[in-house]
Amino acid sequence: MYRRHVERDLERWAGAGWVTPSGAAKIREDLANSRGIGLAGVLSILASVLLAFGVFSFVAAHWDEMPRLLRLALLFALLWAGYAAAGVLFARHMRTFGDAAVLFSVAVFGASIALISQMFHIDGNPPDGVYAWWIGALVAGVLLRSNPALALAMVLVCVWTAMEMGQRQRVYWPFLIGWAAVTAAYLWQRWRPGAHLSGLALSLFVISLGYVLNKGHEHQLVVGLGLATAFTAVVAERSGKDWTGFAPVVLGYAIVTALAGLLALQFYESPSRDTLMLLAAATLALLLAVIWYGQKTGNRGLLWLGYIGFSIETLAIYFNLVGTMLSTSAFFLIVGLIVAVLALMALRLHRRGLNAEMTS
Amino acid sequence: MSQAITIPKRTMWALLALVALMQTVALAYVVYSRDQLLKHGREIVMQVTPVDPRDIFRGDYVILGFPMSRIEITGEKFGALSEGLESGGEIYVTMTPGNDNEWSVAKVSATYPKENGPKENGTRDAVLKGRVESVDRNAAPDKTWVSARYGVESYFVPEGTGKVLEQQVSDKKIQAILAVGPDGTAATKGLIVGGERHVAPPLF
């Protein structure tokens, strides 16, 4: 997508004489080098996931034709073989293939935990096994600087938290320690998809707080945390203090969190008509601000988030009604008029900007 | 994906070996400590009741219900001992043996209790360490229900034999053989089904 887009612009810019032919060639070269992990890389990661599932099923089958010690030895051998394969692949500069091998070994480590608990009928606390597993994945990911292993670590932190929270029916705060450890590794690696995983995991956790804390009615906390984080991210981005470069990502997930809290306040709780109207207006105002800011900073993800959020909010009001059908209609008409006025103002600002540019 | 990271070849091999070694040692440690517990822990046999589900990671297993899985605490019987108990926290139950391997809960506490010596009839209490699942203090006046797990509730069986075992178990009595360590940690050694002892041989 991006490459095609740049290619199109490049032709235009070169035609206008803004970019020299040698400059265009350099840009194309850079684009070709920065092309993600490629199909082969994706397939190797998927293959490693499939093999890992094979190992897990082998453990789950509890095949008693094979002595327990031999089964354990087999898993240990697979674990070492995976890391050895990774070494060979890394030495040949096949980074992604090596990462796939590391991912496989980390999965075998998890399968070994399952096998041992099966062998000794350890029931105890199943989340403890997942806890040991994410630690193992994190250690491997950090020492070998392997992003897929780090991605698995975050997924496991979430599984571990979900299991603990399901058992206890209350907030499992140690999640934050695991989350922070894995997120620190992403920052160290400067891995962008990792920032998304971190954002998603933390958003889910914060949103769940609204349904668990205060007997399941703490959504204003979710909204507050989301808005405060969004505000911080905007300040960091505007003041140029975003040393991680992840502020736009943080902003997006903070908005998702705030929006989830606002939706819960409006439609999960049962507020009075006035409160509902106030919350709906505030939500729409927030989403308009998101769209405006996305437009201003050229953040397409934010822009889409704004559009999608706006659609969800509008549809939710339509189906849930603000009081009666008539007052819902009035609500939509008023909001519609306000947005129309905003559109006119935006157009005028845009024109004035163009005029100023021409006269100067 | 990420920035190109260049780690010298020899360092990379050393790091790979380190990761593999750390993971292997961690796993081997669990195997060793379990093996030691099974070999040297005090063996007790307890009446249990079975239920049968399936585990997505580890295959078929039978869930065993123990006399201390759900404990009724009444004001006079256990005093204020349920005070420190909270869901997710530790629980120590002191079990007293009765006739026919029928064990009953004698005492409950949140910390390791002072152990009673052998009784006049030659039997000795056993202390088991568990994790509280839930504490229900409002079930009835003066009555508290505590659910807890001790890490011995699952018994894993080869694929397809879960149902068979369950059937064997439904009419006959089933007993669990536990090994209990000095800190109260328990491990399952095996089962006694219809008087027949099923115990896996030691690993090594």
Residue B29: closest C-alpha in chain A: A116
* CB-CB neighbors (< 8 A) of B56 in chain A: 60
Residue A150 pLDDT: 95
Residue A167: closest C-alpha in chain B: B133
Amino acid at A28: R
ipTM metric: 0.73
User: Which residues fall within 8 angstroms of residue A282, CB to CB, at 6 or more apart?
Assistant: A262
Over residues B173-193, the pLDDT tens digits come to: 678 889 998 888 898 888 887
Residue A221 has pLDDT above 50, yes or no: yes
A26/chain B closest Cα distance in angstroms: 19
Reported as a pLDDT band with limits 50, 70 and 90, residue B18 is: very high
A244 vs B11, higher pLDDT: B11
Q: Across the interface, which of A114, A124, A140 has its CB nearest the CB of B57?
A: A114
CB–CB of A125 and B155 under 8 A? Answer: no
Reported as a pLDDT band with limits 50, 70 and 90, residue B56 is: very low
CB–CB of B149 and A123 under 8 A? Answer: yes
User: Which residues fall within 8 angstroms of residue B117, CB to CB, at 6 or more apart?
Assistant: B124
CB–CB of A63 and B159 under 8 A? Answer: yes
Residue A62: closest C-alpha in chain B: B158
CB-CB contact of B189 with B199 (8 Å): yes
Instruction: Give yes or no for A59 touching B (CB within 8 A).
Output: yes
* Cα separations in angstroms, A60 against A65, A69, A106, B22, B26: 14, 16, 17, 24, 21
Instruction: Give yes or no for A125 touching B (CB within 8 A).
Output: yes
CB–CB contacts below 8 A, A to B: 140
Residue A339 CA to chain centroid, in angstroms? 30
User: Which residues fall within 8 angstroms of residue A132, CB to CB, at 6 or more apart?
Assistant: A113, B26
pTM for the model stands at 0.78
Average pLDDT over residues A281-302: 89
Distance CA A100, CA A152 (A): 12
A91/chain B closest Cα distance in angstroms: 6
What strands, in cross-sheet order, belong to the sheet with B70-74?
B70-74, B143-149, B126-140, B90-97, B103-109
Distance CA A169, CA B86 (A): 12
Of B78, B67, B76, nearest in space to B100 by CA: B67
- A123, A147, A164, best to mutate vs chain B, most B CBs in 10 Å: A123
Residue B173 pLDDT: 67
Reported as a pLDDT band with limits 50, 70 and 90, residue A78 is: very high
* Cα separations in angstroms, B5 against A99, A145, A188: 13, 8, 12
Distance CA A226, CA A299 (A): 18
Amino acid at B54: R
Average pLDDT over residues A177-183: 95
What pairs with residue B156 in β-bridges? B61
Over residues B137-169, the pLDDT tens digits come to: 776 777 788 888 888 888 877 666 656 666 665
Give the DSSP letter string of A214-256. Answer: GGG--HHHHHHHHHHHHHHHHHHHHTT--TTS-HHHHHHHHHH
